[in-house]
Amino acid sequence: GSLGLTAQPTQEMFENLLAESLNTVTNKDANTTIFLEDESQRIGNLQIPNAFWKSMRSSKIYFIEIPFEERLNYLTKEYGIHPTEQLVNSILRIQKRLGGLQTKNAINFLIENNHKESFRILLNYYDKWYKKALYSRENANALIKTINAEKIDLKKNIQLIKQNL
């Protein structure tokens, strides 16, 4: 969360930027399909507006299933560049839900400079919570379409989604 990113805008600015972006996209064609990452209603300190959130929760979902090790390698490369102290602080923020032993192990792996094993613990944790949230929505089985992908490759995965529309 927030590693290497600029500070979040205010809630009001976030809602204005969201509205502006949606207006820009839909102004060209009212029938435009918009793809969003499935998020919780809270993104850091910000909250997705209720009406937009309800629309997201009832929309079709294309779940890109990518092998665990592929995602782990990607996350290790993307997040492994951050200072250990920042990574430890991020882990400590989720310590209550992660659990004492897993928190200790993840931090010890970081201190030993074994980012991959630390991130393996974290990826397992996040996978569990994301799947729980994904399937907690009303009518989840009818909304979710799983698409298998080999790699994290934006262009190829967009093509896979288009083939499954």
Inter-residue contact 110 to 84 (CB < 8 Å): yes
Q: Which residues contact 75 (CB under 8 A, 6 or more apart)?
A: 119, 122, 123
Q: pTM, whole model, 2 decimals?
A: 0.83
Inter-residue contact 63 to 146 (CB < 8 Å): yes
Separation between Cα atoms, residue 58 and residue 68, nearest integer Å: 27
Strands (E) across 7-164 are located at: 42-43, 46-47, 61-65, 144-148
Segment 8-61, tens digit of pLDDT: 899 999 999 999 998 888 877 777 788 888 878 888 889 999 999 998 889 999
pLDDT of residue 46: 92
Separation between Cα atoms, residue 79 and residue 120, nearest integer Å: 12
Segment 71-105, tens digit of pLDDT: 999 999 999 999 999 999 999 999 999 999 999 99
